[in-house]
């Protein structure tokens, strides 16, 4: 499916907004441009391929509170949130103090420190899973989850959702953003497509792909492969395709179906954990799974991740499954995570996030209503996005029909007026931090109003 056709006048306006705003962007980002030129020893001129954005990467100097500063001296309200990490905002006193204290005591031993007990207890209470282990990134957590589902069942196949991202290990780098690859197969039984070069076909063959919000497709996959499916990994609220909420009964139905076939369910809460609510999206929705993966916001800006569960994690406790890593439970990351979970993410903080979300949602909706724009504001806790489509979407195929120029135009308009959104505008979501204020939200709304006027206002 290609993007939904938009009226010729609107299409022309979109192109001209992108052209004008790109010009403004380039004129404001001269030092960033020089940095990209200087970064010859950095492959591709950035530190991750997903930091390479059009027209070029924006190089930052520092952050403070809700604000970011680039190397050209421009200030932004940070709604990028480092792809969902910066829920504490920047330079948060509790994180700074915890890290400062820990640095003076040594930052790495590859032996456990007391903070890891507090962090594990806190996670157990938030997510209702009794046993936890740590890693360093979301990728490591979901990789352990896939390994553990296989280890616990003695089966090889896993199921993932079309358009879902779970990190960059082979088993899940399948059908992440399968755009422009021709035939994706029937909607209820998508063909798995590798999302990078270097993924062996033998690994691809072990990953079955289903659409989000479609229980019958999962049932069909389980029935096509009786006794072969170890489990399914899924975000309880799907991100990386804007935001797609699960339909009523979907998450419970998944767990029941998988269990009925002797398979397991993993919730990937790398993005939704903490940002959607104190106990993640599953906590907000009252859904349960066999394993939970968290990362991103957990470390208050330091890299850490965790995997939690009950019976399946007994395989780790018993030593049958070796969950390992030199930096697992790194003291510096644990000190920051402890401060994040016990001092930053309080009930008051969540009340603040909820209030700001509603202010932002209300402001954007008013801008949409003013010009009768056919767009939808979708939120989940501190995260949200504008879906530039006239109807709610329920899976990745719906999402594909979204014209990518909207997200890019929105990103540029916000960026040039002091709001930093994630560069992958169509795919990503904003994040509000505990240090954001009404002024940040109002700036976002004013910029969106500007975009709406440029695209739909009378000429
Ligand atoms: C849902 C989800 N799972 C896993 C990952 C991988 O996390 P990391 O980039 O820390 O490896 C991401 C990253 O964006 C994610 O969004």
Same domain, 73 and 121: no
Q: What is the mean pLDDT of residues 17-34?
A: 95
The reported pLDDT for the residue numbered 307 is 98
Q: What is the pLDDT confidence band of residue 52, given thresholds at 50, 70 and 90? A: confident
User: Is 160 contained in some domain?
Assistant: yes
Q: What is the mean pLDDT of the chain?
A: 95
Same domain, 101 and 216: yes
Residue 36, pLDDT > 70, answer: yes
Q: Is residue 295 in contact with ligand 1, taking CB distance under 6 Å?
A: yes
The reported pLDDT for the residue numbered 1 is 52
Answer whether the bond into residue 55 is a cis peptide, omega within 30°. Answer: yes
Tell me the CATH number at 219: 3.40.640.10
Is 72 among the residues known to form the active site?
no
Same domain, 340 and 360: no
Q: 157-171, 253-267, 395-409 — which is least confidently predicted? A: 395-409
β partners of residue 158: 207, 231
Same domain, 290 and 196: yes
Query: pLDDT by residue (tens digit) across 145-195?
Result: 999 999 999 999 999 999 999 999 999 999 998 876 677 889 888 999 999
The reported pLDDT for the residue numbered 458 is 84
Is 165 among the residues known to form the active site?
yes
Q: What is the mean pLDDT of residues 91-120?
A: 98
Domain that holds residue 449: 8-78+346-456
User: Is 85 contained in some domain?
Assistant: no
Instruction: Pick the more confident residue, 36 or 112.
Output: 112
Residue 383, pLDDT > 60, answer: yes
User: Is 419 contained in some domain?
Assistant: yes
User: Is 391 contained in some domain?
Assistant: yes
Same domain, 50 and 144: no
User: Is 1 contained in some domain?
Assistant: no
Residue nearest to atom 16 of ligand 1 (CA): 271
Same domain, 323 and 352: no
Domain boundary among 281, 311, 344: 344
Query: pLDDT by residue (tens digit) across 310-339?
Result: 999 999 999 999 999 999 999 999 999 999
Residue 255, pLDDT > 70, answer: yes
Q: Indicate which residue of 76, 78, 170, 296 is catalytic.
A: 296
Q: Is residue 25 in contact with ligand 1, taking CB distance under 6 Å?
A: no
- CB-CB neighbours of 198 under 10 Å: 7
Same domain, 103 and 138: yes
Same domain, 265 and 320: yes
Same domain, 381 and 286: no
Whole-angstrom distance, CA of residue 144 vs CA of residue 32: 37
Look at residues 102, 128, 97, 137 and name the one whose alpha carbon lies nearest to residue 116: 102
User: Is 65 contained in some domain?
Assistant: yes
Tell me the CATH number at 419: 3.90.1150.10
Q: Please choose from 49, 236, 270 the residue to mutate so as to test ligand 1's pocket, defined by most ligand atoms within 8 A of CB.
A: 270
Percent of the chain at pLDDT > 70 equals 99
Same domain, 364 and 314: no
Number of domains in the chain: 2
Q: Count of residues for the chain? A: 459
Instruction: Calculate the CA dihedral of residues 93, 98, 99, 104 and round it to 10 degrees.
Output: 130
User: Is 394 contained in some domain?
Assistant: yes
């Amino acid at each position: 499916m290609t993007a939904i056709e938009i009226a010729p006048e609107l299409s022309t306006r979109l192109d001209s907004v992108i052209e004008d705003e790109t010009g403004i962007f380039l004129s404001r980002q001269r030092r960033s441009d020089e940095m990209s030129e200087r970064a010859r020893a950095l492959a591709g001129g950035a530190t991750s391929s997903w930091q390479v954005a059009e027209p070029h990467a924006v190089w930052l100097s520092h952050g403070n509170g809700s604000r970011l500063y680039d190397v050209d001296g421009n200030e932004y309200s940070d709604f990028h949130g480092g792809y969902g990490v910066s829920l504490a905002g920047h330079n948060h006193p509790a994180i700074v103090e915890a890290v400062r204290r820990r640095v003076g005591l040594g930052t790495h031993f590859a032996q456990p420190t007391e903070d890891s007990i507090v962090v594990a207890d806190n996670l157990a209470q938030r997510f209702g899973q009794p046993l936890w282990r740590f890693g360093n990134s979301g990728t490591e957590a979901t990789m352990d989850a896939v390994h553990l589902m296989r280890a616990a069942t003695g089966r090889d196949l896993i199921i993932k959702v079309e358009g879902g991202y779970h990190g960059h290990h082979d088993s899940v780098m399948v059908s992440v953003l399968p755009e422009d690859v021709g035939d994706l197969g029937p909607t209820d039984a998508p063909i798995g497509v590798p999302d990078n070069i270097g993924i062996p076909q033998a690994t691809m063959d072990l990953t079955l792909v289903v659409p989000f919000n479609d229980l019958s497709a999962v049932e069909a996959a389980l029935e096509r492969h009786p006794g072969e499916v170890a489990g399914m990994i899924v975000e309880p609220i799907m991100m990386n395709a804007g935001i797609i909420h699960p339909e009523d009964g979907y998450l419970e139905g998944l767990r029941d179906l998988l269990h009925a076939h002797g398979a397991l369910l993993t919730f990937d809460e790398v993005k939704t954990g903490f940002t959607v609510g104190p106990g993640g999206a599953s906590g907000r929705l009252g859904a349960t799974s066999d394993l939970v993966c968290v990362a991103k916001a957990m470390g208050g800006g330091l890299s850490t991740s965790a995997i939690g569960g009950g019976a399946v994690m007994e395989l780790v406790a018993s030593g049958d499954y070796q969950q390992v890593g030199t930096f697992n439970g790194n003291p510096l990351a644990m000190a920051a995570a402890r401060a994040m979970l016990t001092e930053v993410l309080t009930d008051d903080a969540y009340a603040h996030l909820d209030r700001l979300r509603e202010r932002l949602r209300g402001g954007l909706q008013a801008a949409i209503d003013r010009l009768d724009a056919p767009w939808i504001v979708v939120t989940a806790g501190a995260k949200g996005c504008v879906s530039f489509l006239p109807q709610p979407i329920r899976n990745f195929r719906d999402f594909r029909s979204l014209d990518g120029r909207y997200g890019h135009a929105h990103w540029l308009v916000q960026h040039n007026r002091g709001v930093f959104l994630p560069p992958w505008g169509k795919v990503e979501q904003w994040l509000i931090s505990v240090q954001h204020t009404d002024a940040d939200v109002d700036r976002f709304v004013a910029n969106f109003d500007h975009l709406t006027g440029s695209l739909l206002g009378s000429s």
